[in-house]
Structure 1
Amino acid sequence: MSVRNDVTVTIDIQRPTPKLGFGKPMIIGESVSGMEYTKYADLDAVKKDFAENTEVYKAAYALLNQGDHSPAEIAIMLHKTVGETLEDLVGKIFTKDWYFLLSTSTELADMTAIAEAVEQNGRRMYIARSSDKETLTAMKAKKFTRTAVFYHEDVSNFPEAAWAGRAASTSPGALTWKNLTVRGIIPVDMDTTELLNIHDLGANSYVTKAGDDVTSEGKTVSGEYIDIIHSQDYITQSIELAVQKLFNRQDKVRYDNTGISQIEGEVKTVLKRADMNGMIAQDDEGLPLYSTTFKPRSQVDPADREKREYNDGSFSFELSGAIHKTKISGVIKL
């Protein structure tokens, strides 16, 4: 027989807060039988469900044909051609796991309906395509912040899907959507004036610069940069997840400076990760330009403490952005 020890040692494994899937594209469209939300990791899997001449397969091919930059996973969801509408499908998609939305349709009414739904949701993005400048004009008039349109004379091979496939899987803040080379897309033959006209219509395109085929811009219809919207959503949703995970794993987050510091710590962890992704600018010493301000318990409104709400935390940071153009002056000495 033995007597139980007076000392007990326990080791807790601290698991990092998971990163959300901010690069998963989803294709929506239609078929006779429809399709519920289905995930695919490669083209072989897609080919089992879709013939190579179908619009869905072509979109999936463009997404997954970007070499090492291809997304690790895509999703597909379809409405029935009879008895269901695009609006029925769009009403169900926001409960699913995806961030970038693509559609097989280039009809203006469909594009507008999707863009308006994405705008209202406020947490995802829609990447569309068009070969029609009148469509570009109509979309720009709506000033959509969360919709980017890719202009190409030939949209049959889904140039916007190739663009999304090249960029979407990169960590938020790690790249700009301009000057990217994508596979499977032929550049549009246009001069600078024509390209500026496309940009004025709120669209992006694919052109040749310095002998390289690259995307011409990286903006949404409203003129905002795609990477800024992507970064904004990453920060917001990552902090929401991190703090909720804190509440979930703790028996109690104390309403004192210790508990407040725990919440602030989760926010700082997300900001540090964003800095590592290249999202946050750095000062002359190479330090990230972000800050957090969380009032101590003594400065919190007693009414909030009674309701068990903490509403006095804030953060700020400077986006690193990206250099898209440059002017360099020189001097020749004689």
Structure 2
Amino acid sequence: MVTTINSVTPYDHPMDVNVVMTVLHPQPIKDLGNILLLNATSADPKAGGTLSDTLNSTDILNGLLLRKTDKTTGSIYREYKNLDAVAVDYKEGTPVYKKASAYFAQSNHSDRIAVLDYNKSKAYEALKAFWYFNWTFAICVDNTIDDSTVNLSSIFEVNKDHFLVLQTDNISQYTQFNGQNYTIGLSHDLDEPMDAAFVGAIATRPVGAVTWKFKNLVGITAQNLTTQELAGINNVHAIAYEEMMGRGQTSEGTTLSGEYIDLLHGVLWVQTTAQAKLEKMLQENGKIPYESKGIAMIGAVLTEVMNKAYEMGIIMTDDATGRAMFTVTTTPREQQSQKHLSERFYDGASFEYHASSAIHTITVNGTVDSDTVLAA
């Protein structure tokens, strides 16, 4: 942010009308749709000597937004504002550049892309260092699926707050990921980075307002799939980019467990938003009294989050009442244990909601009245 030093007053403007102009700049996107490219190597990334976490003027002019090195693993995390910025560190034609190019070709890409260079043998420690940076969806620069990929998927599954997107041209490889809620499997020719396009086209669109099926991917060739081929892809809960009625579209919108991505993305939104709102409540009040007033404040924050989730399309409408299908419950002080009262710990708040769904297939029954009399 540029700081302007004002040591003098402005001149008087001798006019009857004075128009005051304010320039509004876009806010950096910190959302649940940002992407991380996982660039695994067989050795610790080489920083060319000492690589400072502080960006210099050249870095900034080149479009580098953030650089951070994890001293424990040697992993390097970077955020870039556009494809030209990526090209400074990863030349045109390199695997990272190709993924980034496909990502920025989509109309709904974010204002940044992140890349993590790390030693494949230190994946757990490297991801741990940068897990809570500004990204939610990760793709692999190298689409080879092996034991390290299974371990990578397990990291996402146990944390349940980020998504790993894989791509292969051999769907039999996905059988080892059966049941993984937070791993998404794409079926496509490896010559085209469908994974980067998939995230760029859909992930930053409003959570709750979009299903991941039927979506167009710029620069990705749609496949003409036979019924058997599509059935095989669907059986492992993978997603293809298929030709449908003369237009390319994503064939489904599920993770490899069969759960729908939009539902899990909505769960993540509710979780992170509730955490952020409650933390803000704790920070901005002198104290939250451990009595009915303070407990009511907690309930009010959760109700606010649920109502917003309903507006976004994350929560279903009850057809009988026309209202959102959620409940928020808080238990009073007297129901808390003496231990919790002593530790100033409250765990009497809970909520439940019915996730909104979407229509993915349609069957219509038609009847035609004919004047033709057929022979008996």
> Smaller-chain TM-score range?
0.7 to 0.9
Match of 1:9 in 2: none
Kept after mapping to 1: 8 A contact 2:168/2:187? yes
How much does 1:207 deviate?
Answer: 0.4
How much does 1:329 deviate?
Answer: 2.0
How much does 1:118 deviate?
Answer: 1.1
Kept after mapping to 1: 8 A contact 2:40/2:142? no
Instruction: Find the aligned partners of 1:248 and 1:87 in 2 and give their Cα distance.
Output: 32
The alignment status of 1:135 with 2:173, answered yes or no, reads yes
Question: Which protein, 1 or 2, shows the higher relative CO under an 8 Å CA cutoff with sep ≥ 6?
Answer: 1
The alignment status of 1:121 with 2:159, answered yes or no, reads yes
Deviations 1:60-97 (A, max 9, x none): 11111112x1122221111269xx75455334332422
Kept after mapping to 1: 8 A contact 2:124/2:155? no
The alignment status of 1:270 with 2:299, answered yes or no, reads no
Unaligned runs of 5+ in 1: 1-18
Kept after mapping to 2: 8 A contact 1:127/1:160? yes
Taking a change above 3 Å as real, the CA distance of residues 254 and 88 of structure 1, as seen in their structure-2 partners, is closer
Q: Percent identity?
A: 26
CA RMSD of aligned residues (A): 2.2
Aligned length: 310
TM-score (norm 1): 0.86
Match of 1:248 in 2: 283
Q: Give the match's secondary structure for 1:232.
A: helix
Instruction: Find the aligned partners of 1:311 and 1:79 in 2 and give their Cα distance.
Output: 39
**What residue identity is the alignment partner of 1:293?**
T
Deviations 1:248-294 (A, max 9, x none): 11111011221111111111221122122111111336422222111
Match of 1:7 in 2: none
Q: Give the match's secondary structure for 1:127.
A: strand
Match of 2:352 in 1: 316
> What does residue range 159-308 of structure 1 map to in structure 2 within 5 Å?
159-284=194-319, 286-308=322-344
Instruction: Find the aligned partners of 2:351 and 2:327 in 1 and give their Cα distance.
Output: 6
Instruction: Find the aligned partners of 2:311 and 2:85 in 1 and give their Cα distance.
Output: 34
Instruction: Find the aligned partners of 1:183 and 1:332 in 2 and give their Cα distance.
Output: 40
Match of 2:136 in 1: 99
> What does residue range 34-113 of structure 1 map to in structure 2 within 5 Å?
36-67=76-107, 69-79=108-118, 85-87=122-124, 89-109=126-146, 110-113=148-151
Deviations 1:217-251 (A, max 9, x none): 11111111111211111111211121111111111
Instruction: Find the aligned partners of 2:190 and 2:138 in 1 and give their Cα distance.
Output: 16
How much does 1:133 deviate?
Answer: 2.9
Unaligned runs of 5+ in 2: 1-28, 48-74, 371-376
Kept after mapping to 1: 8 A contact 2:30/2:134? no
Match of 2:37 in 1: 27
**What residue identity is the alignment partner of 2:99?**
A
How much does 1:157 deviate?
Answer: 2.4
Kept after mapping to 1: 8 A contact 2:225/2:243? no
Instruction: Find the aligned partners of 1:147 and 1:304 in 2 and give their Cα distance.
Output: 37
Kept after mapping to 2: 8 A contact 1:105/1:111? no
TM-score (norm 2): 0.77
How much does 1:169 deviate?
Answer: 0.3
Q: Give the match's secondary structure for 1:26.
A: strand
Instruction: Find the aligned partners of 2:191 and 2:122 in 1 and give their Cα distance.
Output: 22
Larger Rg: 2
**Deviating 4+ runs (over 6 angstroms):** none
**What residue identity is the alignment partner of 1:79?**
Y
How much does 1:189 deviate?
Answer: 2.2
Taking a change above 3 Å as real, the CA distance of residues 54 and 329 of structure 1, as seen in their structure-2 partners, is same
Instruction: Find the aligned partners of 1:272 and 1:80 in 2 and give their Cα distance.
Output: 44
Kept after mapping to 2: 8 A contact 1:24/1:99? yes
Q: Give the match's secondary structure for 1:180.
A: coil
Kept after mapping to 2: 8 A contact 1:247/1:253? yes
Q: Give the match's secondary structure for 1:28.
A: strand
